[in-house]
Amino acid sequence: YKGDPAKGKLIVDQVCAACHGADGNSAASANPTLAGQHQKYLYEQLKAFKAGTRKNPTMMGMASPLSDDDMWNVAAYFSQQKVKPREAADKTQMPLGKKVYTAGNFGTKVPACMACHGPAGAGMPDRYPRLTAQHAPYIVKQLNDFKAGADRQNQTMADIASRMSDAEMKAVAEYISGL
Ligand code: HEM
Ligand code: HEM
């Protein structure tokens, strides 16, 4: 891919670091960690915010002034940062969370998340985003956004999220946060 991480860092330091962390490891659980996320995925999300197809008032405002090159540059920078391992906050959610992540729910046709996002949440470049060490509240919000289909549209994830219970969402999000 094109994308100059040094140029990306200039934008990150001025604009994005406040919420996502200077190295892409965010402190606040509403803001996703971007460190180590696949470059093309990051670029596509920024394009979607700018186009208004992924709706979030904050991020639409952040993405709109970015040029196509800026987006590749910040995506290059964040993708090259190391994601810091985290521990799941609520260990009581681990049994159900692990079950959903590694095996899904046969009865309600929820597939194993692991099938696409990988056993350690690494995802797959160009296809599936990394989930490793992502904040649980952010994950729960995304699953609900996919399910509702208004702010974020993706057929695969909408089908999956719409079959999940609130309890499954919360549990799998906690499990993922500790991957
Ligand atoms: C989401 C990049 C600035 C708050 C995202 C995502 C990207 C991104 C790529 C999607 C992540 C994913 O799908 O996993 C950037 C860049 C920024 C920037 C490149 C600087 C130009 C900010 C700032 C804030 C912020 C300053 C806080 C004021 C958020 C929030 C989300 C988000 C809350 C989640 C949105 C949702 O729920 O869909 N950002 N960001 N970002 N960012 Fe930023
Ligand atoms: C995106 C969770 C299963 C394919 C995502 C995101 C989350 C998530 C939280 C958004 C990541 C972010 O915003 O950074 C889960 C969970 C699963 C699951 C909890 C199991 C219950 C799957 C499976 C597939 C898949 C089985 C493949 C068949 C995708 C794709 C995206 C995505 C393609 C990117 C969507 C986009 O571009 O907006 N998933 N996932 N996921 N997932 Fe899953």
Q: Which residue among 46, 58, 131, 154 has the greatest number of ligand 1 atoms within 8 angstroms of its CB, and so is best to mutate?
A: 58
Residue 59 in contact with ligand 1 by CB distance below 6 A: yes
Q: Say how many Å lie between the CA of residue 31 and the centre of ligand 1.
A: 6
- Give the model's pLDDT for residue 112: 98
Contact 169, 140 (CB under 8 A): yes
How far is the C-alpha of 69 from the C-alpha of 77, rounded, in Å? 12
Positions in the chain short of pLDDT 70: none
- Give the model's pLDDT for residue 1: 82
Ligand nearest to the CA of 126: 2
Q: Which residue has the tokens 């906690």?
A: 174
Relative to the CA of 153, which ligand 2 atom is closest?
A: 38
State how far Cα 55 lies from the chain centre. Answer: 15
Q: Strand, helix or coil at 162?
A: coil
Q: Which residue has the tokens 């995925």?
A: 41
- Tokens representing 85 are 């391992």
Domains of the chain with bracketed CATH:
5-79 (1.10.760.10), 91-177 (1.10.760.10)
Nearest CA to ligand 1 atom 9: 42
Residue 58 in contact with ligand 1 by CB distance below 6 A: yes
Q: Which of 178, 153, 169 is nearest to 83 (CA)?
A: 178
**For the purposes of burial, counting CB atoms within 10 Å of the CB of 108, is it exposed (0-12), middle (13-18) or buried (19 or more)?**
exposed
What is the ipTM for the molecules in this complex?
0.99
